[in-house]
Each structure stands twice: as structure tokens, then as C-alpha cells.
Amino acid sequence: MSDSEKYSRLSRLVGEPGITGAVSVDRVVSAVASYGMWALTLGIIAFLWLPLSQIVVLSFTENSVLFPFEGVTLGNYVSLFTNEGLLAAARQSAFVATVSAGVATLIGVPLGFAIARHSFRGRSVLRGLVILPLLMPGIIMGISLLILFRVVGLPAGFLGTVLAHSVYGLPFIVLPVVARLAVFDRNLEEGARDLGANGRGVLKDVTLPIISPAIAAGFVFAWLRSFEDFIRVFFVGGTMDALTKEMYGMVVYSQGTEAMDPMATIIVLVVSAALAVAINLRDILEYV
């Protein structure tokens, strides 16, 4: 066997010089990146869910800290369901969130269609103004709206809070709708028109059903942002009872704090269940 044949056979067995080392390094880097991403994901999950898990556990304990452990009780839930002020504030916040998200949806869907499908002067400015409530600090938005309401003579309270949260929730409706319409297959609408459907029929039977997950995603997040808001409610809510204001007062004055962990637990469970149902029925997270 000649030297060249021996070299060729050896190359097939161990690879070309330098290639084996490169392949080994690539595998090591790939493995490190893969395990690193898993570690990062698990770290983020632990960072987000460990405090929530602690709240759930504390809602069933006799003391407000895990250690020393003093026993299990349902007395905290009894305190919650006998605290009419806190329950009324929760109902008020849920009602405000529903109305605000509904108003934002009624305004945001047509606005999303206008931005996505029409060219007009000031379109880019309008898009920027829609995003602005997301970028503006809550305290600045709260103070500016309070000043505006005083100038126009609108008293702080329910109506002012609904208006503030509707503006705050508008980007959560417009942005998913615009994103969905940007990849929308217009041939589906043209096909419906060719089959005899009018404009209203195309909108009702073709366009809205297809973009409905994006609308649902926007509504859910607009509702959540309204329900959990404190800063804007603090400025424009006036004497209106809101859950965040009520819980803040409980912490400041150390009154009725035993009902806070059960309330937080119920909110976490309700929100998680609602998101799970929404994801299973229509994959709303695809449009967030």
C-alpha cells in the first residue's frame, strides 16, 4: 500500500487535520448554549413563580412568614370573605377593567384597520401616538390626566379612571390587530367577494373571525393592565374604591393584612385559569 493510500485511509478514520478539533469545539459550544438556555429558562421561571408560590402557601399559614412555621389555617380566607370593603374594591376594579378594555377594543380595532390598510397623512404620527401610553411613565400620565380633567371640569372617579385606562389599554388592542392584518391573506376576502359576499359580510364572516385571536389577546392584556394598575388610579380615581388602592392602604396602615395573601392567591388562580382557557380555545399568545 502506497503512502498516499495510507494517508487517505487514515484521514477517513480520524478526519482531516484540524476538522476533528473544530467539530469537538462546535459540539461543546452547542451543548453549553443548550444547557445554558435551559438553565436561564428555569431561572426565570423560578424567579417569577417562587414569590407567587410563597403567597399561595402563606395564604394557608397562621403567621405571615414561612419560618417559623406555626400551622395551617383557613382563617385567612374567612377574613377575606368577611372583608366587605376589599371584596367591593375587587368587584369595582373588575368592572372598571371590563369597561375600559371594552372601550379600548371598540376604538382600537377600527384604528388598527386604519393604520394597517390605509395610507393617509399623519399615519406614522398616529402610530407613534398609539404606542405613547406604553412608553409614558405612569406617574406622568396620571398627573397629566388629572390636570386635564380639572381643566375640563371632569371630577376624579369612575369615569376618569375608565378614560385613563382606555387610553392606557389602546396599544394592547391596536398593535396585535395591526400585526395580524400585516400578514393577512387578502385573497380570502377577494374570494368571498367573488362568491357574492358584500363588504359587511366579508368583514363579519372572513376578516373578524381570522383576526379574533389578536383582538382577544389585546382585550385580555388591556383588562389585566387596568385591573392591576395603581399609579393612574391613585391620581384620577378620586374616592372610588379600587383593589390596588385598598391593598395599598392595608399595607400602609397594617389593617386587615391577613386577607391580602388569600386575595392575591385567588387573583393568581383566576388569571391563570382564564389564560389557560383562552390559550386552549384560541392561541392568543401567538399575537402578543
pLDDT in tens, 175-228: 999 988 888 888 888 888 888 888 888 888 888 888 888 898 889 889 989 998
Name residue 61's beta-bridge partners: 72
Q: How confident is the model at residue 23 (pLDDT cuts 50, 70, 90)?
A: low
Most confident of the ranges 49-53, 94-98, 219-223, 280-284: 94-98
Using CA atoms, how far apart are residues 189 and 122, in angstroms rounded to an integer?
27
Band (114; pLDDT cuts 50, 70, 90): very high
Global pTM value = 0.80
Element (H, E) at 17: none
Indicate the average pLDDT of the chain: 83
The pLDDT of residue 288 is above 60: no
Give the per-residue pLDDT at 59: 86
- pLDDT of res. 284: 53
The residues, ordered by sequence, that sit 6+ positions from 238 with a Cβ below 8 Å of its Cβ are 155, 156, 157, 160
* Res. 276 pLDDT band, cuts 50 70 90: confident
Residue 29 identity (one-letter amino acid):
V
pLDDT at 233: 94
Is there a cis peptide before residue 262, judged by omega within 30 degrees of 0? Answer: no
Mean pLDDT score, 43-60: 85
Q: What pLDDT is stored for residue 111 in this prediction? A: 93
Residue 1 pLDDT: 56
> In the predicted model, is pLDDT for residue 51 greater than 70?
yes
pLDDT of the residue at 164: 94
Residue 194 is predicted with a pLDDT of: 81
Task: Give the C-alpha distances (Å, rounded to integers) separating 122 from 114, 119, 178, 211.
Answer: 12, 9, 16, 25
Q: What per-residue confidence (pLDDT) applies to 3?
A: 54
Q: Which of 208, 180, 192, 201 is nearest to 287 (CA)?
A: 180
Closest CA to 146 of 166, 167, 164: 164
**Percent of the chain beyond pLDDT 90?**
27
Q: What pLDDT does residue 4 have?
A: 55
Q: Which cell numbers hold the place of 227?
A: 385591573
3-state secondary structure of 30: helix
- Residues in Cβ contact with 82 at an 8 Å cutoff, skipping those fewer than 6 apart: none
CA 211 – CA 208 distance, rounded (Å): 5
Q: Is the pLDDT of residue 285 over 60?
A: no
In percent, the amount of the chain with pLDDT more than 70 equals: 86
CA angle 153, 159, 161 (to 5 degrees): 105
Are 232 and 145 spatial neighbours (Cβ–Cβ below 8 Å)?
Answer: yes
Q: How far apart are CA 152 and CA 145, in angstroms?
A: 11
**pLDDT for the residue 24:** 66
pLDDT (tens digit per residue) in 140-189: 999 999 999 999 988 888 999 999 999 999 999 999 999 888 888 888 88
CB 226 within 8 A of CB 101: yes
Greater confidence (154 vs 9) lies with 154
